[in-house]
Each structure stands twice: as structure tokens, then as C-alpha cells.
Amino acid sequence: MAKLVLIRHGQSEWNALNLFNGWVDTKLSDKGIAQARTAGELLAKEGIQFDQAYTSVLTRAITTLHYALEEAGQLWIPEMKSWRLNERHYGALQGLNKADAAEKWGDEQVLQWRRSYDVLPPLLEEQTETVEVLGKEYPAFDRRYADVPEGELPFGENLKVTLERVLPFWESNISKDLAAGKNVVIAAHGNSLRALVKHIEGISDDDILGVEIANGEPLVYDLADDLSVVSKKVLKPEA
């Protein structure tokens, strides 16, 4: 039996501004930092001893992992970062305001882009190293992606494509640790985690539309040796 804990990063600067974030490298807001620390306190209360941590190559997930593990007294554990755990790439929607998008394209279209399994967002025309949004420069396709296999850098992803690029890393690393009985924590993103949750729990393509993962509320799974789910709970801060 192993424990798997999934943590969506705390609120990012762009979550606070209601902007489509995707692969643009934004930071945690002050509220996001507090949420990440609280996630760590909740994990400390549960008494979970981790063996391995995984995160994406995006700052908001990495710093969430670090704040949470520091709070839990386990910042020292081995950690590995992979672009495969990045947020779903939101294509040409990145940097746009979600409410403005709903006004322009309609609520239903935006819901399909945000929560459906297989509807692609409008794609990027080009992959630039940085992007400028609201007068500020943010990292985008920079050298952290130098090791991505030729042709695999996305121009925009739906949940299906996201799951297809998360799964090789799940198979090659995470599932092997779990099968060996290691307790694993993954700090990642709303949609890369929805993809993983779909896979772990066997959720249908239709039902995944209704699945939401809150910032900074750890999902704790007990997994059997064959990685089937024995129990699941969400750790929520006291109201």
C-alpha cells in the first residue's frame, strides 16, 4: 500500500486576475503562498511521510511544493521536475481574461475549452521565448524545454492530449515508485491533475467535465499494490 498526494498549486497571479494561464510561467500570489503553506500544515497533521516528490517546470507548482514540504518538515526529500506535469497548454487563449472570453465566444464554448475532454482551444501561431501580457514580460518557451522531443512542444492542448503527455512520465517514474510502496507527492496544476485523476480513478470522458480541483487542497489516495484506489480524501483548511 502506498500513499499518493496530489496538490494543485496555490492561487497564481493570473488565477487572481482571472487570466488563462497554461504554460506561461507566472508566480504565486500572496494568497497562493498562504494556501501552499496551509496544504503543508494539513499534510503534517495527517502524519504522511513522503519518499519522493514530483512537480512541473512551472514556478507556481515548484514553489507550492517547496512551501508545503517546508511546512511539513520534509523539504529534504528527493524531488524531480518534468515538463510532462505542466498545466494544459491553453494555446492562443493564454493571457486572455476568462470573463472577456465568455462574452466574446459565449459561456458554452468557453466551458468546452476549459473542461471538456477533447475540444482543443484555439492554437498558438508561434512559440516565442517570452510573452508580454498587461505590459509585463513572462517566460514561455524558454530553455527549460530544450530536452522536449522534436515536435512535442504544444501549440495548444485539450485534456486528452494533456493526459497523453502526462502518462509516459506516470508510467516511467511515478507508478513505479508507488508500486514499490513509496509515498509520493505531486504538486502540479488544475488540468494536468484532472488528467491524472481521470486515469487513476477511471473517470469517463463525459464525467471529467464536472471534476474541479481546488488550489492548495491536497487529494490523498491510498493505493493498493496494483495501484487501484483503496480510499480517497480531500484535505480542506478549517473554515
86 binds ligand 2PG (CB under 6 A): no
- Interatomic CA distance for residues 147 and 116, integer angstroms: 29
**Collapsing DSSP states into helix, strand and coil, what is residue 69?**
helix
Instruction: Indicate which residue of 70, 71, 87, 171 is catalytic.
Output: 87
154 binds ligand 2PG (CB under 6 A): no
- Interatomic CA distance for residues 222 and 184, integer angstroms: 11
**Known binder of ligand: residue 194?**
no
21 binds ligand 2PG (CB under 6 A): yes
CB 215, CB 83: distance < 8 Å: no
9 binds ligand 2PG (CB under 6 A): no
Known active-site residue 189: no
Cβ distance to ligand 2PG smaller for residue 71 or 87: 87
Nearest alpha-carbon partner for 63 in 21, 95, 35 = 35
Task: Identify the residue among 2, 4, 20, 26 touching ligand 2PG (CB under 6 A).
Answer: 20
**Collapsing DSSP states into helix, strand and coil, what is residue 41?**
helix
**Known binder of ligand: residue 79?**
no
**Buried b vs exposed e over 191-219: b needs ≥16 C-beta within 10 Å?**
bbbbbbbbebeebeeeebbeeebebbbbb
15 binds ligand 2PG (CB under 6 A): yes
**Known binder of ligand: residue 37?**
no
162 binds ligand 2PG (CB under 6 A): no
221 binds ligand 2PG (CB under 6 A): no
Q: Which residue has the cell 486528452?
A: 160
Task: Identify the residue among 114, 188, 197, 217 touching ligand 2PG (CB under 6 A).
Answer: 114
Using the contact rule CB under 6 A, the part of the chain among 15-23, 101-109, 149-157, 179-187 near ligand 2PG is 15-23
| Residue 100, amino acid | D
218 binds ligand 2PG (CB under 6 A): no
Nearest alpha-carbon partner for 184 in 20, 24, 52 = 52
35 binds ligand 2PG (CB under 6 A): no
Task: Identify the residue among 50, 90, 170, 221 touching ligand 2PG (CB under 6 A).
Answer: 90
Cα dihedral value 29, 66, 131, 96, nearest 10: -50
Residues near ligand 2PG (CB under 6 A) are: 15, 20-22, 87, 90, 114, 190-191
Residues assigned a catalytic role: 9, 87
